[in-house]
Amino acid sequence: MDKDVLKRLGNAGLLSEQVHNLGFVGTGSYALNKIISGDYTKGIPIGMITQFIGESSTAKTVFGTHILKEAQAKGYYSMMVDSENAYNPEFATHLGIDPDTLIYAAPETLEDSFQIIQETTKAIRESDKDTPIVIVYDSIAVSPSKAESEADNFEGNNMLGAIRAKTTGACLRRINPILRLRKVALVIINQIRNKVGVMYGSPDTMAAGGKSLEYYLGVNLKCISNKTTDLIKDDNKNVIGIQGKLRNTKNKCSIPFKECEFELLFDQGLNPYSGVLKQMEIDGHVARNGAWYTVVATGKKFQSKEFVEMLQPPVDEGVAPIAKFLEI
């Protein structure tokens, strides 16, 4: 092939010359990293949109915060777009966020949110061409379009709802191409609400974006937690956290339709080891017999309550293969 032809085109090249993997950012959960990227230490992809969607109080914002924390640990730019005006700086700092390096914006409308993302990434790239940028948009569900914000009464107005869906699609069409060019990982937080009057099938529906949003996602993660049965309580029956599952319903990085467990303690954040043993069992690295686990490579037997302690330095030789997967 005459490569001079491609040079004259300017915006085209050979597939073999393209950079397909711009890197990943950890989620704070080894098991979640694995079901997204196929690796226990990677996580969400840079250059794509990752969505966390679920009902209220299912740890969506906490996952976003842990991703920002992981980004800061790598020296990446981090940004919170807080359309809910509810991001707690004290709680974020408690989870490990450095407030002095976190870019923060609280736009009023859907259009403003995407505009500030475009402007911020452009400004960063004018002085820094390479360092990845990680942005959490929390949440698209509560961001009104300009038409909605200017209307006297928009609740239940089907016309305004249609305008909102079109606006979301238009914003995504503009921003999606620049994510890869500017090395941006965009995390969108969304909410699930129930359709009224549904008697057959699932009553769940996306609160924002409709079908157009789904098409632009690189990874879609559904957060599932029962507010009655998935509570974590201490010995005095006080609620100290929640547990649940994350289901990967779309994935352009690895095999989709996998799920993992998560555990959130309110005073500590995500438990990074939650769900790891189950995932290791699925991958064939450990075998389970009742309450006992066996490391396939070494024959080491242990119970789940001993697992985290065995991984602490100096790592028990019997679980060294597991520690290697987790890069401990």
Q: What is the pLDDT of residues 7-17, one digit of tens each?
A: 666 667 777 66
Picking from 75, 23, 51, the residue whose alpha carbon sits closest to that of residue 250 is 51
Residue 10, strand partner residues: none
Residue 144's pLDDT band (cuts 50, 70, 90): confident
Q: Which of 13-27, 228-242, 283-297 has the lowest mean pLDDT?
A: 13-27
Query: What pLDDT does residue 159 have?
Result: 62
What structural domains does the chain harbor? 19-272 (3.40.50.300), 284-328 (no CATH)
Residue 76's pLDDT band (cuts 50, 70, 90): very high
pLDDT greater than 60 at residue 284: yes
Query: What pLDDT does residue 209 have?
Result: 62
Query: What pLDDT does residue 307 have?
Result: 96
Is pTM beyond 0.75? Reply is yes
User: What's the mean per-residue pLDDT of the chain?
Assistant: 90
| Dihedrals phi, psi of 53, to nearest 5 degrees | -130, 140
| Helical (H) or strand (E) element with 148 | helix 146-150
**What is the mean predicted confidence (pLDDT) over 83-105?**
95
Residue 164's pLDDT band (cuts 50, 70, 90): confident
pLDDT greater than 70 at residue 202: no
Give the pair of three-digit tokens for residue 255.
């095999």
Residue 244, strand partner residues: 262
pLDDT greater than 70 at residue 314: yes
**What is the mean predicted confidence (pLDDT) over 102-111?**
96
Instruction: Report the alpha-carbon distance of residue 307 to residue 231 in Å, rounded.
Output: 22
Q: Could you give the percent of the chain with pLDDT greater than 90?
A: 72
Higher-confidence position of 202 and 263: 263
Q: Which of 109-113, 192-196, 283-287 has the lowest mean pLDDT?
A: 192-196
Query: What pLDDT does residue 228 have?
Result: 77
Alpha-carbon distance values, 288 to 9, 83, 88 (Å): 57, 45, 41
| Helical (H) or strand (E) element with 12 | none
Q: What is the DSSP string of 219-238?
A: EEEEEE--TTTSEEE-TT--
Instruction: Report the alpha-carbon distance of residue 139 to residue 195 in Å, rounded.
Output: 20
Angle, CA 291 vertex, CA 289 and CA 297 arms, to 5°:
55
Residue 163's pLDDT band (cuts 50, 70, 90): confident
